[in-house]
Structure formats: C-alpha cells, structure tokens
Structure 1
C-alpha cells in the first residue's frame, strides 16, 4: 500500500504511515483496508483522500456515534476544513462537489440547521406513504416488464439503479425526460471522478429549471412543498436540498436493493428464511444495512478545536470521515458476525445525530416494495453467473455491484392502464437540457448510460 507522511498538524504515531483511501489498491478491497487500519491504529486511523489530503477515518461504532452526535466538537460545516482554508482544495478537485459549502442543512449546525432541516423533513412528511409505495409498485412493474419475456436480465442496470431515480423524479415533480442524464451525473458525482464537478453543475442547473417551473405551475410534490414552506426558503436553498435528496436517495437505495438481491440469490439460508416467513423483508433489509451499508464512509466532519477521539489527538480544522461500513462490523459490538442482527436498527447505515438521513423511510419503502414486487413476479430468479464472477466497483464513499445477471422462466408482461406511470404535472416553460446532452430514450437506455450490457 502506498504511503505518505502526514503534515505536522495531524501527525500519527511515529512509524505509522497514512494509507490512501483512493486508487486501485484501496478500491479493490475497501473492507480489507478498513480492517488493516483497525489492526494498526484502533478506532481512529490516519488516512489520505484524493490529492493526498490528510483525514481521519473513524472505524469504531461508538466513536462514529460520538462524532455524529456532537456537532459542537465535530462540525458538518466544510468551511472549517484547514486544507480548504489554506487553498489546498481547488475548484476542480474531485471532492469539491461534496465539500464546497452550500446553503443546505447537512453543511450547517445549530439554529440554521434546525431551520433548513425543519423545512426538509416537514416537506418529506407530507408524502402519503401508501402513495409512495404505489409509485414504487408501478415503476417496479414497468422495469420487470422490460425483461419478463426474455427470461434474463441484469438486476443492477435493469432494476436496482433505475427504480430509485424513477420514483424520486416523480416525487419531486420533475418530467420523466430528466431521468437519464440525472442518473449518469449522480453516479459520476458519487465516484468523485475528474468530471465530477461538471456533473455537479449539470444537476444543479437542471434542478434550478425545475424550481423555476414550479413557481409558475405548482403541483403536489416535494419541490412545491419546499416552495410553500413557511420558512420561506430561497430558490438556491431549495435547489441544494433537492440535489441532496435526489443524489442521496439514488445511490443509497440503488445499493441497498442490489445488495439485498445479491444476498437472496447467493445465500440459500437467507432466501429460505425470507420465503418461509422466518424473516420479513424489512428485517432482511436491516441485516443488509448492517453488513453492506449503501455508503461505506461519509465525508465529512471537521474538528471545531483541538480534541481527542479514542486517545488520538485531533487538531482544529482536521477532516474526519465517518466509517459506516467498518463501524458496523466493529468487533467491540459484533464479536461474532455470523449472529443475525436483522430487525436491529442501531447500525450506522444512515449515520446518526442531528444529521441522520432524513429520507431513510422513503428509501426503505422503495427497497421493500420494489424487491417484494420483483420476487413475487419472478419467484424462480437465479444467478446466471458463478457467484465468484460478480464484480464490484468502489469509490471513497461507496461500493456497488457492477452487474447482477439473472435468469428465470420467461413470462408475459403485466402493464395495464393501472400500472403505467402517472404523467407528471406539466412544468412551466424552462430551458431543458440541450438535445445533444440528452441521450435518446430507447428501450435499453438505462443499461447504456450506466455502461452495462
């Protein structure tokens, strides 16, 4: 593993180098790297992120909760990041879309956080949960219809990835035509690639058009409810919260669906417990959220002053990453990983404290209803490749399946007028993405834009 010494402000113990959390070696086996760091450093480890910028990775479950629940010591405001203040994070840095300050609730603390978070959660709470599940059922049926007659499919490209964005596009009141490029841009942002900044700009511009349209033609949707909220949010604040909700929902829910389906297809005991009624699907989702959380780490927190965490000196302005995946397998709380924890919601998958994921129940509803619909309609699903042939791709914050090929008995479609997706409210005239930027929508566009075949 490549190493680089830390600057004096955040010096690890002598002889303990900081490991890179990016690059081929780290991406090949992130969980293996986390355990190596735990063995070398304990609950908090010095690491390097893109550009060899120093940070601390929190590996312990209790330590993750300590950081997440005490914003007075560990702020969510990236303007406190010393490397940002010193000009070490240029505008085109891969992490800029995730760390450049914006007027959004997860980048502020205290009273301002309560104001913005209140508008977000109260708008989310206006959704009829049964209505959300009906949307999920309709879109899940459409996606299943796309592969039903062939008897084969890829449950990542054909189901897990398109389903959350189809649902979220509907819930925010956006035209369906926004979907393809938004998915492409969202994935690019999460990966932190060289084009992440451009993808972030595209998402922001698209959402600005949506907000402008809803001011003229409101609807019964999340965007309109944010506009109507008594907090009187600015357009910029609404755009940033739409971006937060859609990007977080896309990545986290797509990974949750894919990881759960992989377990169903590869673990016979898990599938038997599920089909035999010994474990409910919601319980199964919680087990997956423990073992394979959608986000492996969360970037980031910044120390408000000099402090200690698990005996490690943290300097003011240091960046910390919440280690959700390593925290969930901390031997201090899970000495035997073979013991089931399904139904137990004390995992770190959605973080904790004042910045805990506000839309987690919608994500659970999408995953629960979508998977239930799939397994009901295609009960004889089986993996079409050897289990050891499955591949993953990893980034600083997440790890996801590249593909999940399956086969099943071909059957007819079920699309009727009742299962077709509802037509979204018409938006006011606004500049749509240029035609040359938007791929033609043909039957397999989800597979093509995500590089799947």
Structure 2
C-alpha cells in the first residue's frame, strides 16, 4: 500500500493540483447508455485514478479495485467523508446550486467519522439487530410481512388480467416493495406512512417537486421521531432511542431519512437488476433459484451491476499517493464500485457475466468495506431474496418487452438502476386449496384493542392501480 506523502515532499509542490488539471465530463450520453465503456476509457487514459468533471465540479474518480478498497478500509485514517474536509467546499468554491450538494449536506451517519461515527453505528447495529437476526421473532415477522406485501403487489399488478398481460416491474413491484418494508420498520400508525412513501419517491427521482417533497418528508419524520420519544414501540426508531437516548428529534429524523433513502432505493434497484439477470440467463438461472441459490444469484448481480455504482466522496487530511496519483489534502475522491468490479486486476481478465466467477462474489464491494461498511446488508438482502422468490413463484413465464440493451436507465452520478422494467407475464397455476372445515362460532367477542388485519394503503394503492390501468 502506498504510504501518505507529507506536504513538504518536493513532488507535492511540483505537481499540479486537481483544479489545474484538464478533466473530461463524467455524466454524458455515453455514460447514461454504457457506463462500463466510459470507465474503461478513463482507465486506459489515466490508470487507476482519473480526474473527471462531475456536473461542473472537478473530482478524482478511483477506478481500480485495490485503490477503492484501500480508501474504504482507511487503515491510515487519512480519508474523511466529512463535507468540511473537502477544501473547495470549505473555501466556498462549490456552487450552491450544484445538484449533489443537498444530499451531501444532510448531517447523518454516512458523513461522520471517528467517535461520532462509532456511536451512531452502534445505535444502528442495536436497532437493526432484532430485524436482521433470523432467530428473532421480529425478523421472522418482517420476512413474512415482506412476502405478504410482495403477493399484494402482484395481485394488484395482475388484477383482471386473465392470467397474462404486461407490467412495469420497476414501478409496480421493485420500487414500492422496499418502501413498504421500511414503512413497517418505522412504525407509522394508521397508514400514515403512505404519503411518506410517495414523497420519498419524489425526492429520489429529483423531479421538479422534489424540494417540497423533501420538506414534507423531513417534517413527517420529525413528527414520527417525536411520537416515538413519547411512546416507544417495537420498531426501528424506538430501538434507536433505546440504544442512544440522547438523540434529539432533529438528529433522529435525519437518521430515519437516511434509512428511508438507502433501504428504500438500494434493494429496489437490486431487485430490478436481478430480475433482468434471471430472465436473460434462461432456464438454468431460474432453476438455480428453485435449488435455493437465490443469495448467490443476488450476490453475482450485485457484483456485475452494483446499485450504487459510485460512492460519495472521501477527502484525505494530508497529501497521499493513490494509484500512482498524488492526491492533495482536501481534494475529493469518488469511489467507483462499478469500475472496481470490472478492473482486470480483480476479474483476472474474465467478464463479470461468467457463471464460473460466482466463487468471487463474496469479495464484491457493493456493500462497502471498512468503517462505513453497510450495517443493513441482511435486511436489504432479505428484501431482495423475498421479492425474487415470490415473483418467480407467482409467474410461470416472464419476458422482457424490450431488448436488454434498450432498457431505460435512471442516470445518476451515484445510482445505476432501471427507470422502468417492461415485461410480459403469465401467471403460474395456483395450487388447489383444500376446502376448509366450517369454523366454530366464537363464544366471546374480541377485546376492543385486539390486533386487526393491516389496512390497505390508500394513497399507494391508488397510485399502483393507476399504473395498471395505464399499462392496458
């Protein structure tokens, strides 16, 4: 590993800074259509670390697997995700209207370091444990609820179709399912999470109404945080408070927003990418799902098509060498997981679509590594596995209505996901159900506070039924 180079090293004053280098724009039409070709072109011209223009701001883009992993692991403790570690930002050279700035200025766990990071990650670990430990009743209930939500979405998608039809699996299944799970995790009462789900979509899509949606989202999460402080329950916010009682309403609401944004979007992108992999892979890949290899399939897709293609920037506290480049203190380095997974030094020159490369999927970086490694891996994986299991159990046949290279992608500097996933489907025959015996009449009335079945989500269901009508 290259060791840090002190600012007094003569080479640090002789070499130009990032702002002085010529940079090529990263986000172009070529990037939207075939980002892998853009990464390889940058690697051929610049090596493992390339200077690029990110929507008008110069950044270093780490393309090499070893370099990305080195920064993630941060063994020398020189790399910081704190926004104030970015020299151009601290000195006012980043335009206030830079599109990525609002997301980077939210002060939550993703952008913390040191003791603060350890404290917040400790709270997350404790709060997620009941919902990720397969032996816990909360985790079993959450998995069962996820399967039930998946079946409900499929029922709405196929209602009145006569057993076959067309659908957009992204809008009608892959995107709403994780948000429904997050809604349950947050513990919203009486379906109040409906509008939060819809506003989260608006924020993630960064459309013209994303600003007002963000304000409503933060207000709703602050109200939820205050409610859980007053009356905790068996949900994620309450477990966070139990682990770290000193949370303020504002602090907790920011952490809840991070959970909604990451857990609500990342699994949906991975569901879409896995569906495409299974459809394109033919009968062999689908048979592997029946053989219980869903997790291996999901892992391989996460390596070949990571949902978060590029990660938010890290800045070194001192001059360092990375991939043969001198990175000056305070210069931003964006880590490209997608490029790292395609690095010939990692793949050995073989393509990522090679089935015999499954053994390497556990070395992928889609979940991060080091101090910022994703704490919700099991939660996200459960959502994706359950979604894939229910989808291919319910549909006897699924086929794309567009060639794979014509599928529309959501272009983003960070995420790489489908905008829509148009398919033609045929429902699998339902197994015959035994005729139930007449139920005995109850000898007592249930108590007024007895648990009731979950009520349909009005706003979300109206939206999804509207999509179904529009698809006809």
TM-score by length of 1: 0.84
Cα distance between partner residues in 2 of 1:93 and 1:58: 21
Q: Secondary structure at the match of 2:69?
A: helix
Bigger shift: residues 205-214 or 177-186: 177-186
Which one has the largest radius of gyration? 2
- Partner deviation per Cα, 1:306-340 (whole Å, 9 max, x = no partner): 11101101011111111011111111010202253
CA distance in 1, matches of 2:197, 2:465: 9
Structure 1 alignment gaps of length 5 or more: 1-6, 415-419, 425-438
Contact 1:252–1:295 (CA<8 Å) still a contact in 2?
A: yes
Matched, 1:171 2:185: yes
For 1:37, the equivalent position in structure 2 comes to: 42
In the alignment, the residues of structure 2 paired with residue 313 and residue 134 of structure 1 have an alpha-carbon distance, to the nearest angstrom, of 51
Write out the 4+ residue segments of structure 1 that deviate beyond 4 Å after TM superposition: 175-181, 187-199, 410-414, 439-442, 446-449
User: CA shift at 1:226, angstroms?
Assistant: 1.3
Q: Is the 8 A contact 1:44 1:57 kept in 2?
A: yes
Aligned CA distance change for structure 1 residues 188 and 446 (closer, same or farther; 3 Å): farther
Q: 1:32 to 1:447 in 2, by over 3 A?
A: farther
Q: Number of paired residues? A: 422
From 133, 151, 164, the equivalent of 2:143 is 133
Q: Say what the alpha-carbon RMSD is for the aligned residues.
A: 3.0
Partner residue, 1:341? 357
Structure having the higher helix fraction is: 2
**1:142 matched to 2:152:** yes
Contact 2:191 2:455 in 1 (8 A): no
2:85 is the alignment partner of 1:80: yes
Cross-structure match for 1:49: 54
The corresponding residue for 1:356 is: 373
Q: 1:327 aligns to what?
A: 340
Q: Is the 8 A contact 1:94 1:192 kept in 2?
A: no
Give the 3-state SS of the residue equivalent to 2:94 in structure 1. coil
* Separation of aligned partners in 2, 1:184 and 1:99: 22
Instruction: Report the 3-state secondary structure (helix = DSSP H, G, I; strand = E; otherwise coil) of the residue aligned with 2:358.
Output: coil
SS for the counterpart of 1:112 is helix
Q: Distance in 2 between matches of 1:201 and 1:92?
A: 17
Q: Which residue of 1 aligns with 2:221?
A: 207
* Partner secondary structure for residue 297 of structure 1: coil
Any conservation in 2 of the 1:94–1:193 contact (CA below 8 Å)?
Answer: no
Residues in 1 aligned to 2:329 and 2:310: alpha-carbon distance in whole angstroms: 21
Aligned to 2:434: none
Superposition TM-score, scaled by structure 2 size: 0.81
Q: Does residue 242 of the first structure (1) align with residue 256 of the second (2)?
A: yes
Q: Residue in 2 aligned with 1:65?
A: 69
Q: How does 1:355-394 map to 2 (within 5 A)?
A: 355-394=372-411
1:379 positional shift: 2.5
Q: How far apart are residue 201 of structure 1 and its match? A: 3.2
Name structure 2 gaps, 5 residues minimum. 1-14, 132-137, 432-451
How far apart, CA to CA, are the structure 2 residues paired with 1:447 and 1:38?
Answer: 45
CA contact (8 A) 1:190 1:397 kept: no
SS at match of 1:88: coil
Residue in structure 1 matched with residue 320 of structure 2 by the alignment: 307
